[in-house]
Structure 1
Amino acid sequence: MARMPSAERRRQLTEAAIRAMTRDGVAKTTTRSIAAEAGVSLSVFHYCFDSKQALVESVITTITDHYVTVVKDAIRPRPTLRETVRAGFQAYWDHVSAHPGEHLLTYELTQYALHQPGFEHLARRQYELYSETYGELIDQLRHSMDFELRVPVPVLARYLAAMTDGLTLNFLVLGDDAVWADVLDTIVDHVAGLVRDEDEARPDVR
């Protein structure tokens, strides 16, 4: 077997874990089955991950990275802020539609972590990561399009994380429907409405 840098091997095993967990469920996925999915020995797995906690955290981070990369590319500045925000949400939604099993896995990971003694902090970390990710995306937009918000970035980030979480679960339960485009438009209108206009931003000099 060709030698591979440890970071690359961890990535390989994490992606294998995502495939195995999506197919078989978190509880039924073992370190042995992940190693088999990746085509490596069990000793290689234990060399890269010293615990299942470390693996689960890597899975959560990697799944988030999958769609964040797509969204970051999509929110390059467009003629209007609304168009830019809409493109970002559409990119996320396209990822959900294309990879529903992967997104369903995130909810299973949350439940697993909350019910597995010693894993509870991973569920908290998962949702903190969602908020932090939105905060980074908002800052990316603010720096590229130069606008001010009516609410603090951390508040908007947590709100968007909670809204997206609920919306995604609704989609996974109810399935594809034309109503989702209108729902996304409504969300975008709301977010665009949280941007200060020039008159608000201008100090009162009277």
Structure 2
Amino acid sequence: MARMPSAERRRQLTEAAIRVMARDGVARTTTRSIAAEAGVSLSVFHYCFDSKQELVESVITTITDHSVTLVKEALRARATLEETVRAGFQAYWSHVRAHPDEHMLTYELTQYALRRPGFEHLARRQYEVYVETYAELVDQLRKSRDFRLRVPVAVLARYLAAVTDGLTLNYLVLGDDEAWTGILDTVTAHIAGLVDAGTSG
């Protein structure tokens, strides 16, 4: 087995954990099955992660990063603020449609953490990551377009996290790709409406 930096090995194991958890469920996933998926020994897993809590937090952060990377790329300046916002949401929904099992896993992780003694803080951390991520995306957009918001960034970030969370679960349950064009248009128009009139965009 080739040696690699511990950070890279952690990434490898985290991605393996995501695949196994999405396939088998969080409760049935073992450190042994993750190590087997990654093609490493169990000792390598325990060298990289001190506990299952640490692994679960890494999984939560990594799943969020998967979609956020696409959204950040999509938020490059466009003709109008509304077009830019819609491009960001479209990038996210494209990821949801392409990787439904990964997004379904996020809800399972929440329930798992809330129901398992000692893991409750991970559910809170999961949603804190969502809010922090949206705050970062909003700041990125503000810097690129120089506008003022009608609500504080912290409020908007939490609101966006709640809206996205609910809409994602709605899509995973109901599907219906055709309905999502109208839904994205509605969400985009609403978010763009939170920008002060007369500002850039």
Deviation, 1:47, is 0.1
Q: Deviations over 1:100-152 (max 9, x none)?
A: 00000000000000001000000000001101100000000000000000000
Matches within 5 A, 1:1-206: 1-198=1-198
Amino acid paired to 1:46: H
- Number of equivalent positions: 200
Task: State the superposition RMSD in angstroms.
Answer: 1.0
* Counterpart residue identity of residue 187, structure 1: V
Q: Deviation at 1:180?
A: 1.0
- SS of alignment partner, residue 9 of structure 1: helix
Separation in 1, partners of 2:172, 2:198: 40
Q: TM-score, normalised by structure 1?
A: 0.96
Q: Which runs of 5+ in 2 are unaligned?
A: none
Residue 197 of structure 1: how far off its partner (Å): 1.5
AA partner of residue 31 (structure 1): T
Could you list the per-position Cα deviations for residues 181-204 of structure 1 after superposition, in whole angstroms to 9, with x for gaps in the alignment?
A: 1011000000111100228x9xxx
Partner of 1:204: none
For 1:184, the aligned partner's letter is: L
What is the CA distance between 1:175 and its match in structure 2?
1.3
Which residue identity does 2:152 align to in structure 1? P
Q: Quote the sequence identity (%).
A: 80
Work out the CA distance in 2 between the residues paired with 1:74 and 1:177: 20
Q: Partners in 1 of 2:192 and 2:74 — Cα distance?
A: 17
Q: CA deviation at 1:177?
A: 2.9
Q: Which runs of 5+ in 1 are unaligned?
A: 202-206
Q: Which amino acid aligns with 1:67?
A: S
1:179, distance to aligned residue in structure 2 (A):
1.1
Q: Distance in 1 between matches of 2:114 and 2:43?
A: 28
Report the CA distance between 1:176 and its aligned residue: 2.9
CA distance in 2, matches of 1:57, 1:177: 31
Q: Which has the larger radius of gyration?
A: 1
- Point out 4+ residue stretches in structure 1 off by more than 3 angstroms: none
Q: Distance in 2 between matches of 1:92 and 1:2?
A: 35
Q: C-alpha offsets along residues 66-112 of structure 1, whole Å, 9 cap, x if unaligned?
A: 00000000000001000000000000000000000000000000000
**Which SS does the other structure have where 2:177 is aligned?**
coil
SS at match of 1:178: helix
* C-alpha deviation, 1:153, in angstroms: 0.5
